[in-house]
């Protein structure tokens, strides 16, 4: 049976989480209705993450990895995952596991008529400052993009791979994935998913890059929307 679904796991200095990632993803794959494989994208980690990733991949034939020469950021890691995916569906989950792989099934159940299905973190277990800054950033992004999404920062998504590969990624664009699918005349949907406190490791985003960064990216998105090339082939011979 060939693989149907690839789960991208971006990693940056997550050595304390990786064994739990292996356990939870293995348990999910054992009961998933779709034949699934895992792709770690190591974004130039400086701790023991790569050593652990290679050990995990040796133990599990459904796990593989790519390693960046240097840290390039979350959007680059997600783009690389899209580039190296060869299944019809692709998704991603953060290696901090504040969302659970089990909830991929909620998204996969809806992907048939949609081209991207994203989670919305219900009852978020983050600090007040983190929750408030995300709420403000999402409000600003919605005003610019009209994508109708409440939580594009949710690290649990499923996308049809042919749409994912056509996204012209830039730094910070992981927050604009639904909007970029809409630019392709695709259909998007959001589904509530569970959220959990971070158990190990440290958050990679602070107040500065949750508010100022997304605001600047909104102007980049408006430029891209104006210049975006979209076409459909009517006939080929």
What gap in Å lies between CA 65 and CA 38, rounded to an integer?
8
Tens digits of residue pLDDT in 14-54: 999 999 999 999 999 999 989 999 999 999 999 999 999 99
What gap in Å lies between CA 59 and CA 118, rounded to an integer?
30
What gap in Å lies between CA 134 and CA 127, rounded to an integer?
11
Give the predicted TM-score (pTM) of the model: 0.84
Q: Cβ distance 11 to 44 under 8 Å?
A: no
Is the pLDDT at 144 greater than 80, yes or no?
no
- Domains of the chain plus CATH, in order, are 5-227 (3.90.550.10)
What gap in Å lies between CA 229 and CA 224, rounded to an integer?
9
Angle, helix 207-227 to helix 128-145, in steps of 10 degrees: 10
Q: Is residue 189 helix, strand or coil?
A: strand
Residue 226 binned pLDDT confidence (cut-offs 50, 70, 90): confident
Question: Which residue do the tokens 């994508």 mark?
Answer: 147
Is the pLDDT at 140 greater than 90, yes or no?
no
């Amino acid at each position: 049976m060939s693989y149907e679904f690839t789960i991208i796991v971006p990693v940056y200095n997550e050595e304390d989480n990786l064994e739990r990632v292996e356990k939870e993803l293995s348990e999910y794959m054992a009961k998933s209705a779709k034949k699934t494989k895992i792709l770690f994208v190591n974004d130039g980690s400086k701790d023991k993450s790569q050593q652990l990733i290679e050990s995990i991949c040796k133990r599990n034939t459904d796990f593989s990895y790519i390693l960046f020469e240097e840290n390039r950021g979350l959007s680059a890691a997600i783009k690389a995952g899209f580039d190296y995916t060869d299944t019809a569906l692709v998704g991603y989950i953060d290696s901090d596991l504040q969302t659970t792989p089990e909830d991929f099934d909620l998204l996969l159940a809806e992907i048939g008529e949609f081209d991207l299905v994203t989670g919305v973190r219900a009852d978020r277990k983050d600090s007040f400052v983190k929750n408030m800054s995300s709420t403000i950033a999402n409000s600003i992004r919605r005003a610019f993009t009209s994508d109708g999404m409440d939580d594009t920062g949710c690290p649990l998504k499923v996308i049809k791979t042919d749409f994912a590969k056509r996204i012209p990624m830039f730094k910070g664009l992981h927050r604009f994935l639904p909007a970029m699918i809409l630019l392709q005349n695709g259909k998007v949907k959001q589904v509530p998913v569970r959220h959990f406190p971070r158990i190990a490791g440290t958050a990679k985003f602070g107040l500065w890059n949750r508010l100022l960064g997304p605001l600047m990216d909104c102007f980049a998105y408006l430029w891209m929307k104006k210049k975006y090339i979209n076409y459909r082939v009517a006939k080929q011979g």
